[in-house]
Amino acid sequence: MTFMLQPLQHLIPTSKSCYLVEWKGRSCVIDEKRRPQNGDTVLLDMSGMYEWAMIMITPRRIITDDGLFLTDDLLEDVAVVGVVTHEVTSVHEHDDSPI
């Protein structure tokens, strides 16, 4: 068995502005240089608190994973850290099953 420990760019098609983020039980590759498009999942910085969310361009709003709608004045203290390009999920359960 051979283990390949390579930079992220060698394993999946990403740029050097991408990195793996684990937050609230979710692991995603985010691109900090990519501009969000309508419906993209993003990582937000809300005054020092991080949150996964979905961007809606028209009408301008953000919907967090917790179901919070951010519009108008609530968007002033929100910064997009990066756009999710890939989500990393486990292909096996943590049990004794061989399959």
CA distances 96 to 25, 90, 99, Å, are 22, 15, 9
21-75: pLDDT as tens digits: 888 888 888 999 999 999 999 999 988 899 999 999 888 899 999 888 888 887 8
Pick the more confident residue, 1 or 49.
49
pTM of the model: 0.76
